[in-house]
Structures are given as structure tokens and as C-alpha cells.
Amino acid sequence: MRAARRVREAARGKGSIERRDLASGRLHHRLFCQITRNWRARPLASHDIIIKTISAVTTAAGLTVTAILDTGRYPTGIEVSDQRMAELEARVITRHDFHGAWNYALAPAPRPAPEPAPPPPPPAGLCDPATLNHPALTGLDPQALTSLAAALDLPFRAHREQHLYTRRGRGRQRAEGAGGRPQKIDLIRHVLATRLRQHLAVPVHVIAALLGADRTTISHAISLTAKLLGSQLPPAAMPPSTRLRTLDDLREYAASHGIAIPQAANPQPGTLTHPATP
């Protein structure tokens, strides 16, 4: 109806119509008008008659039709989800340049699935947790530290719920994680920050530069993690006698144990040198 109205308006000078729309309309009319003309006054008593009638359509311009009976059974009332439709578009459907909504090809077999998207990048710190999870820096076995972070999951969430209840004066009204802001640093970084502070006495601003977080965030993380850990901390190695006060001190100490801490592109003030003292 819309196409017919556009044609009438174009004929009256009220609008314009693209040549490709007219060509597409002529193609459909050439196909279906010939099919209906071919089976006019013929009883369509069986699928075989219908298929043969459609297949017999031809024109002087060379138009031919291929008709095949699809004997598959398709249940009705099934809705295709957006996720399934996106998968079909990516792996099965190839749309033509000309009116792709109408003209497209279906692959006989789905194309190979695309490569999975890379994991989201970690916070923009100097080192990833795997590099910092070293006995020389934390005083703990790497597996023990990872298990410690996993064991903190339940106490951490319980503490957070209690804090929110105290602040709001009521319980949670939405499911956990619905509409909330993402956690600034994860639990493995909580434990790493705490152990760097406890084992090496690294200043908070240096740990913040290592983990790519604000120093206030790191200070709160250390305080909370130490409180939640309590007496759960497994036996740790003796801390070194050398005081590590700057990022250069920590980098030199780490290098002596085969740990490479890269240079910061834009180091925060006070992380490379000793803070000024009166």
C-alpha cells in the first residue's frame, strides 16, 4: 500500500520514487502475475499440481521459476530471539546489496563461529596480578594467595550488605548487582595490596600506582581486607630488612628476584622519589 501511494504521488508530481524501487516492483509483478495467470481457472488439488504450475512459468524475456516442495514440519508460534537472529545474520544469512531485507542467500551450513571476543582489559596499572603474586612480594605461595582471595568472597559480600543496610536503613530491594556500579578493584587485588603493605611495608601511593587505582581506594581495601582476614592468614615468609619507599626501590628489589616491573608511562608524583621531609 505504501509503495502504491508513492507511485500515485509521483504520478501527480507530489513526490519522487527511486528507479531501483520501480525495478524491484516490476520484478515482483513479473513473477507473481505470471504465476497467477498460469494457474488461473485450474483447480489446485494437490501439491504436485501447484509445483508443476509454478515451475512452468516463463516469459519472452527469459524469466524462469524453480519451485520445490518443502516437506519439513515447522511448529507455529515460535519467536526467534534477538540473540538467535544475530547468530543467523553472522553465520547463515548473506544479504544482497540491493534490498537486502528482501534479497538474501542462506548458507547450506553455518559458517565457522567467529573468534571469541578478548577478555576485558584489567585496570590500567603497571603490573597485572599474576606478576605481583610472587612469594618475594607477598610472602605467600601464589596458590595460597589465590585461595585466600576466593575464601574472602562470602565475608566481603556480607560486609558490603551490612554496610548498605546501615546506610539505607532497610534491606536490599533489587537483586545483587542490578544497576550497581562495578567494583573498583577485585578481591585478588585487595589481597595483593594488603600483602604488599604488610610484607614489604610499601607505601599506599606506590601500591596504587602498581594496581592502577586511587590511593584512597587502596587504603580502604587494605583496611577492610586486613579486618576480614583476621587470623586466616597462612604462614608467611620473613619480610626483607630493606625498606622499600618508592617505586624504583620496589622495582630494584623485584628485579633481584626475577620479577620485571615496567616503567610507568606517566608516573604519579611521589611514586618514584622519596617524599620531601622537613
Instruction: Spell out the residues 6+ positions from residue 143 whose beta carbon is closer than 8 angstroms to its own.
Output: none
Residues near 258 by beta carbon (within 8 Å), at least 6 away in sequence = none
Judged by average pLDDT, the poorest of 56-60, 166-170, 216-220, 264-268 is 264-268
Confidence of residue 268 (pLDDT cuts 50, 70, 90): low
Nearest residue to 65 (alpha-carbon basis) of 76, 77, 54, 74:
54
Q: What is the pLDDT of residue 60?
A: 77
**How many Å apart are CA 16 and CA 9, to the nearest integer?**
8
Range with the poorest average pLDDT among 21-30, 199-208, 247-256: 21-30
Q: pLDDT of 47-101, one tens digit each?
A: 888 888 888 888 777 778 888 888 888 888 888 888 889 889 989 999 999 888 8
C-alpha cell at 8: 500515485
Distance, CA of 158 to CA of 161 (rounded, Å): 5
CB burial readout 170-197, b (16+ within 10 A) else e: eeeeeeeeeeeeeebbebbbbbbbbbbb
**What is the pLDDT, as a whole number, of residue 63?**
76
Q: What is the pLDDT of residue 170?
A: 58
Q: According to the 3-state scheme, what is the secondary structure of 37-106?
A: HHCCCCCCCCHHHHHHHHHCCECCCCCECCCCCCCCCCCCCCCCCHHHHHHHHHHCEEECCCCCCCCEEE
β-partners of residue 64 are 58
What's the grid cell of residue 29? Answer: 509483478
Among 236, 238, 248, 254, residue whose Cα is nearest residue 274: 248
State mean pLDDT over 122-151.
Answer: 84
